[in-house]
Amino acid sequence: MRCAVLGDPVSHSLSPTLHRAGYAAVGLDWEYDAIRVAAEEFAPFVLGLGTEWRGLSLTMPHKRAALSLLGVEVTARARLASGVNTLVLEAGTPVLADNTDLPGAVAAVRERYDGPVTAGTVIGGGATAASTGLALCELGARTVRLLARSPERAAPTAAAIAAHPSAPRVEVLALRDGEVLGEVVVSTVPAEAQDDGLVARCADTPVVFEVLYDPWPTPLAASVGADRVLVGGLDLLVHQAVLQFELFTGAPGPLAAMRRAGERALEARRAAG
């Protein structure tokens, strides 16, 4: 059986490392690759796969395009997040579109922090901001604040979060000067966007969720001391990958084995410079 992660770019992805480690841990002789697929090639590529294909992980720019594939059941959480990161195939035909980023983010936070979440802040306004903002709602947040470089472009993300069944209050402020709110702050922006002022505004937040895993640590992650909780991008990646693994194979995802593989791969990257 074959699986892969599709994206453009995609060579940086750790997904092959994680999924292959999972296959080895449970004794599956499956393949998992990273395949660069441009946005305009996405639908023809997916619809042209052979019967040996079982699953696809999707990264940018394909998460929203996958919502419109004909004949595919879209889960409620994928519709809620307005994005798909998982396609399950039967005999090479896509049959289920899901989003494991949302429950993966919930699991990543709860692994590190068991306290209350009444409000939270998400830095950024894209697809990852939508899924992590919804995860804050799943954790109990009644108010979610978005700090976006272009607040007007964050409107679809704000609408996606506001559509959560808990009917949260969603605020959109400018990244340059918006204040951080709540017990959890999630950063979905590049490391170079994390200036000293932003780091300082996050200094009193008990939980910092940095969705990046490379480069590491980001300025925001590096600022978190022993008195605060840091949830990293590898935590998110592993938890969402475990859920994908289970959807693709039907077997329980070997979390520890997949995490160890990811840690070793990142260590090797850093050693290589």
* H-helix segments, 27-91: 42-47, 76-81
Which residue is catalytic, options 63, 77, 145, 164?
63
Q: Any catalytic annotation for residue 63?
A: yes
Largest Cα separation within the chain, whole Å, is 52
Q: Give the tokens for residue 136.
A: 């804050």
How big is the chain by its Cα radius of gyration, in Å? 18
User: What does the DSSP 8-state code read for residue 122?
Assistant: E
CB count, 10 Å around CB of 196?
9
What are the phi and psi torsion angles at 193 (to 5°)? Answer: -85, -5
- Let me know if 148 is exposed, middle or buried by CB neighbors in 10 A (0-12, 13-18, 19+): buried
| Active centre residues (catalytic) | 63
